[in-house]
């Protein structure tokens, strides 16, 4: 560790000396005290996730009060090392548990503006020691509950929900109207070759509710292996992009090393930044928006079924360039016709 720090840039040395240390904070909420463990290189957003684990109050519902820090705790991207926190002082949280999930699509997080991260930058983020350490910590903290057992010899498909499987911003009498066309056909077909996990940047309540409403959790033709939520995400830092959350597949690989790896995993998401810790395993899906207008024309899941089944024969999916999935489909079609 020491030699690593010495060889890194001066900025990294300055960060690592303060941040690797864990800090135990006492949070008062609703007449009780809770203990959360954080590090200096965690953000305020991550602190709120830890508090959510202890209290079930969603991060977006929390207001944190602490002496002499002004409004710093309102900025989710701020690093805790930039706030003078002391283990001896107690933090107060104000917030309410959502007993009833509010089925208001406007309530779920909205990130439309994706950004393209250059390849060099991706490697920097993926190989960054602080980010790798955050992933290791998350692996230790997050439990993946299996709804169905992992299957020997199957590959892994990880799916985002919002704009990938479901248009969460449109309104409808029935959520089924907002489901991406061919969802059940897609899941039934790819289940032959892939274990399926669903990973959303929202809360587990929302994931379960949404997937239940769409009939994904009890379909007789396929089974979902596991559901993951925002608590499984890791906040990473990039010099150019600042701080943002991503979905590291390494978390799943570490939990099930005998089944899944970089070689047999693929993830669909409408936001490229979510793949930043494993860029070779991500496929950016065209977002499914304006469900009412696009419901009759959207064919993405049909085309992606072909792609997934075609590549399922390969030993190493990470050798593919998933940006070119559409031309892979066309080439594959031609090969089959002429071969
Ligand atoms: Mg999405």
Domains of the chain, earliest start first: 2-94 (3.10.20.90), 107-338 (3.40.50.1000)
Measured in Å, residue 261 CA sits from the centre of ligand 1 at 23
Select the highest-mean-pLDDT range: 71-75, 120-124, 218-222, 325-329. Answer: 218-222
Please identify which residue in the block is written with the tokens 């190493």.
316
Measured in Å, residue 62 CA sits from the centre of ligand 1 at 23
DSSP 137-178: HHHHHPPPPBSS---TT-EEEEE--BTTTB-TTS--SSGGGG
Provide the pLDDT for residue 282: 97
Measured in Å, residue 4 CA sits from the centre of ligand 1 at 36
C-alpha span between 204 and 163 (Å, rounded): 17
Residue 305 clears pLDDT 60, i.e. is over it: yes
Residue 18 clears pLDDT 70, i.e. is over it: no
Condensed to tens digits (0 to 9), the pLDDT of residues 155-184 reads: 999 999 999 999 988 889 999 999 999 999
Measured in Å, residue 69 CA sits from the centre of ligand 1 at 34
Provide the pLDDT for residue 2: 40
Measured in Å, residue 218 CA sits from the centre of ligand 1 at 23
Measured in Å, residue 35 CA sits from the centre of ligand 1 at 32
Alpha helices in the chain (DSSP H): 2-7, 10-19, 44-55, 119-127, 129-141, 183-190, 204-213, 250-255, 291-294, 300-311, 325-338
List CB contacts of 60: < 8 A, sequence separation 6 or more: 109
Q: What is the pTM of this model?
A: 0.81
How many C-beta atoms lie closer than 10 Å to residue 248's C-beta?
Answer: 24
Provide the pLDDT for residue 19: 55
Measured in Å, residue 271 CA sits from the centre of ligand 1 at 6
Measured in Å, residue 15 CA sits from the centre of ligand 1 at 32
Mean pLDDT, range 178-193, rounded to an integer? 98
Q: What angle do CA 309, 247, 160 make, to 5 degrees?
A: 50
Edge-to-edge order in the sheet of strand 90-94: 32-39, 22-29, 90-94, 63-65
Mean pLDDT, range 224-247, rounded to an integer? 88
Measured in Å, residue 275 CA sits from the centre of ligand 1 at 12
Condensed to tens digits (0 to 9), the pLDDT of residues 81-111 reads: 899 888 888 999 999 887 654 544 444 444 5
Measured in Å, residue 228 CA sits from the centre of ligand 1 at 14
Measured in Å, residue 171 CA sits from the centre of ligand 1 at 17
Asked if residue 245 lies in contact with residue 235, where contact means CB atoms within 8 angstroms, the answer is yes
């Amino acid at each position: 560790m020491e030699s690593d720090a010495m060889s890194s840039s001066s900025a990294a040395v300055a960060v690592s000396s303060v941040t690797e240390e864990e800090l135990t904070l006492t949070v008062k909420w609703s007449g009780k005290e809770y203990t959360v463990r954080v590090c200096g290189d965690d953000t305020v957003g991550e602190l709120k996730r830890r508090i959510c684990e202890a209290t079930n109050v969603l991060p977006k519902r929390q207001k944190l009060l602490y002496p002499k820090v002004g409004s710093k705790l309102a900025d989710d991207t701020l690093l805790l090392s930039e706030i003078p926190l002391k283990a001896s002082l107690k933090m107060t949280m104000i917030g309410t548990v959502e007993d009833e999930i509010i089925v208001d699509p406007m309530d779920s997080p909205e990130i439309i503006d994706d950004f393209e991260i250059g390849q060099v930058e991706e490697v920097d983020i993926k190989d960054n020691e602080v980010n790798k350490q955050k992933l290791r910590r998350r692996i230790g903290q997050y439990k993946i509950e299996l709804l169905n057992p992992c299957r020997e010899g199957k590959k892994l498909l990880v799916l985002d929900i919002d704009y990938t499987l479901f248009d969460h911003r449109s309104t409808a009498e029935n959520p089924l109207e907002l489901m991406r066309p061919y969802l059940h056909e897609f899941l039934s077909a790819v289940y032959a070759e892939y274990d399926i996990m669903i990973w959303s940047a929202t809360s587990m309540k929302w994931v379960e509710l949404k997937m239940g409403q769409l009939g994904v959790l009890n379909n007789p033709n396929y089974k979902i292996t596991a559901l993951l939520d925002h608590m499984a995400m890791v906040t990473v830092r990039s010099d150019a992009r600042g701080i943002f959350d991503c979905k590291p597949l390494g978390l799943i690989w570490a939990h099930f090393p005998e089944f899944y790896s970089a070689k047999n995993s693929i993830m669909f998401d409408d936001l490229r930044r979510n793949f930043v810790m494993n860029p070779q395993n991500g496929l950016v899906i065209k977002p499914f928006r304006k469900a009412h207008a696009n419901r009759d024309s959207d064919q993405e899941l049909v085309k992606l079924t072909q792609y997934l089944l075609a590549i399922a024969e390969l030993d190493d999916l990470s050798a593919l360039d998933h940006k070119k999935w559409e031309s892979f489909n066309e080439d594959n079609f031609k090969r089959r016709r002429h071969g």
